[in-house]
């Protein structure tokens, strides 16, 4: 029996996944949540075989949750379920040790097959999502510029970002200015939005 943890912030979608996958032979849904941080807590507590995570969730996004699950429960295989084939998402997922990357629009039987394949040690990357990811442009930002934009996403002032990243305020301003220039946007808030839309954050 494959013990499955479901994390999806849309209640109806999560309920549909649980109902459909719960009828599949050999799969038992052991927990459900709508938050990424709660998914990590449940993974540590319940030690599921597979965690199926949405990307966009409160608390922690699915990719950050996948990274933490890989660190704290390495035996748990992670499948990301998404509607986005953004290159940054796919790369971050692979770097986090995610074993599966599948579209939400797949039928339950396909999701169940992916879960079985991942549980058996395989990998699965949805061909359409992979093609979408490969057709989009590469991230022009450096890792430090991305860190600075991530820290700026909450609207924090430069002084707080500098403290959080242990950088000088001038260095933070330089990274933010560079990101704004490279993304050809008006300000750091728009840069954050653009980087998120591209899946780089």
Q: What is the pLDDT of residues 67-119, one digit of tens each?
A: 999 999 999 999 999 876 566 677 778 888 899 999 888 888 899 999 999 99
Burial 127-166 (b: 16+ CB within 10 A, else e): eebeebbeeeeebebeebbbbbbbbbbeeeebeebbebbe
| Fold designation for 2-134 | Rossmann fold (3.40.50)
Quote the crossing angle between the two packed helices 127-135 and 87-95, to the nearest 10°. Answer: 120
The 3-state DSSP class for residue 137 equals coil
Residues carrying CATH 1.10.10.10, the chain = 143-198
Q: Provide the CA 129 distance to its chain's centre, in angstroms.
A: 14
Q: pLDDT exceeding 90 applies to what percent of the chain?
A: 65
Query: What architecture (CATH level 2) is domain 143-198?
Result: Orthogonal Bundle (1.10)
Q: What are phi and psi of 111, to 5 degrees?
A: -60, -40
Average pLDDT of the segment spanning 173-177 = 95
Residues carrying CATH 3.40.50.2300, the chain = 2-134
């Amino acid at each position: 029996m494959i013990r499955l943890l479901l994390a999806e912030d849309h209640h109806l979608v999560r309920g549909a996944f649980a109902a459909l996958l719960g009828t599949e032979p050999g799969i038992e849904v052991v927990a459900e949540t709508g938050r990424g941080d709660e998914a990590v807590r449940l993974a540590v507590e319940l030690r599921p075989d597979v965690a199926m995570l949405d990307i966009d969730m409160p608390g922690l996004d699915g990719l950050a949750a996948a990274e933490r699950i890989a660190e704290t429960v390495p035996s748990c295989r992670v499948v990301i379920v998404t509607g986005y084939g953004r290159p940054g998402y796919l790369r971050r997922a692979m770097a986090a040790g995610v074993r599966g990357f599948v579209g939400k629009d797949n039928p339950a039987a396909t999701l169940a097959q992916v879960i079985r394949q991942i549980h058996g040690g395989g990998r699965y990357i949805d061909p359409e999502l992979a093609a979408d990811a490969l057709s989009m442009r590469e991230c022009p930002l450096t890792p430090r510029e991305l860190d600075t934009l991530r820290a700026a996403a909450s609207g924090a002032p430069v002084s707080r970002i500098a403290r959080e990243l242990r950088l000088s305020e001038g260095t933070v301003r330089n990274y933010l200015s560079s990101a704004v220039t490279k993304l050809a946007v008006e300000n750091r808030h728009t840069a954050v939005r653009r980087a998120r839309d591209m899946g780089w954050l």
